Amino acid sequence: MAPTIPDGVGWTALVVSAQRAAESRRPDALFQDPLAEALVERVGEDAIAAGPGPDGGTDQRGTLARVMGDFLPVRTCFFDRVVTEHPTPQVVILAAGLDGRAYRLERPAGTVIYEVDVPEVLAFRDAVADDLTPTVEHRPVAIDLREDWPEALLAAGFDPTVPTTWLVEGLLIYLPADAADLLLDRLTGLSAPGSAIGVEYADRDPASAMTGLAGTDDPGAQLFADLVEAGPRDSPARWLGSRGWTVEESTVREQAGLVGRPVPAIMDPELGGMDAWLARARR
Ligand SMILES: C[S@@+](CC[C@H](N)C(=O)[O-])C[C@H]1O[C@@H](n2cnc3c(N)ncnc32)[C@H](O)[C@@H]1O
């Protein structure tokens, strides 16, 4: 029996994972994601698109494909590089959802990946992944990021005295500015010298960018608009720099060019979208 689909923002983890499955099937695929493929096999693309609940939600596929295009594979490749270019003993994936990196990336022996997300989403992920063999040790940290997640991370074995690579992928747009600041303060306090962070970052309200491009009467755009928040107030350089991180900013346009994919409309100001970055930083 297929596991129960998580509700609300949790569901978006399935939507983006299904896009990684679609990428894995392309003849020019930039990566293979076995967890994403297992998800689609177990649950089915139509059920993922329809969403949770007995009557399903709103099928976002048309809107996402039209507005976001090839963004997900571009983002995946960027965060993969953050992981592979920082061989720290610990990786923490905040709002991991159905992140497949523990099933597809090689890491130095002894590396531990901590995957933080709400219990419902991690339980769903475990049910989908039960036949897969991880390439690296990974530990779930089942907690809402509005709660005391550093304590939960420490309880799972995280060591704040050794360097960590942090991934903040597909998360900041779901947080109000104050929550984003608190998240960064907590993360910085747990980062030993030699740590690195990758963040996906939008400079203004992604909801209005989405409805602006797709139309306010588009149900997929409206659903997305209802889920997102403002995110941090500053550019990545100022936001991360203010906490002592040395920042390397790049635009989504630049990252799309690196992997030979077209720039997605929602993340290109020249196409009516917002300024958007994929940034990394070290300390
Ligand atoms: C778009 S998905 C991204 C998942 C994953 N990072 C990826 O890129 O595939 C957003 C994720 O954020 C998680 N999330 C949002 N708010 C959260 C919170 N307050 N605490 C924990 N997880 C949260 C959701 O459960 C969901 O898995």
pLDDT tens readout for residues 187-228: 999 999 999 999 998 776 777 777 777 777 777 777 777 777
- DSSP label at 26? S
Which range is least confidently modeled, 51-55, 156-160, 189-193? 51-55
- Domain membership flag for residue 57: no
Q: Sort 219 into a burial class: Cβ within 10 Å, 0-12 / 13-18 / 19+.
A: middle
Q: What is the pLDDT of residues 20-47, one digit of tens each?
A: 999 999 999 999 999 999 999 999 888 8
How much is the pLDDT for 57?
59
Range of the domain at 92: 66-282
Mean pLDDT over residues 165-177, rounded?
91
Q: Is the CB of 265 under 6 A from ligand 1?
A: no
- Domain membership flag for residue 29: no
How much is the pLDDT for 66?
67
Integer Cα distance of 206 and 209 in angstroms: 5
Q: Is the CB of 146 under 6 A from ligand 1?
A: yes
Q: Is the CB of 171 under 6 A from ligand 1?
A: yes
First to last CA, the chain: 46
Of 83, 128, 174, the one to substitute when testing ligand 1's pocket (max ligand atoms within 8 A of C-beta) is 174
Which range is least confidently modeled, 7-11, 82-86, 216-220? 216-220
Taking the centre of ligand 1 as the mean of its atom positions, its distance from the CA of residue 250, in whole angstroms, is 23
Q: What percent of the chain has pLDDT over 70?
A: 93
Residue 60 has pLDDT above 70, yes or no: no
- Domain membership flag for residue 17: no
Using pLDDT thresholds of 50, 70 and 90, give the confidence band for residue 61: low
Q: Is the CB of 16 under 6 A from ligand 1?
A: yes
Domain total of the chain: 1
- Domain membership flag for residue 170: yes
Q: Is the CB of 170 under 6 A from ligand 1?
A: yes
- Domain membership flag for residue 187: yes
What's the CATH number where 266 sits? 3.40.50.150
- Domain membership flag for residue 12: no
Residue nearest to atom 4 of ligand 1 (CA): 97
Of 31, 48, 78, 118, the one to substitute when testing ligand 1's pocket (max ligand atoms within 8 A of C-beta) is 118
Q: Is the dihedral of CA 109, 110, 115, 121 positive or negative?
A: positive
Residue 256 has pLDDT above 90, yes or no: yes
Taking the centre of ligand 1 as the mean of its atom positions, its distance from the CA of residue 217, in whole angstroms, is 26
Residues 6+ apart with CB under 8 A from 124: 3, 4, 5, 6, 10, 14, 98
- Domain membership flag for residue 32: no
CB-based contact 241:247 (threshold 8 Å):
yes
Q: Is the CB of 9 under 6 A from ligand 1?
A: yes
Mean pLDDT of the chain: 89
- Domain membership flag for residue 128: yes
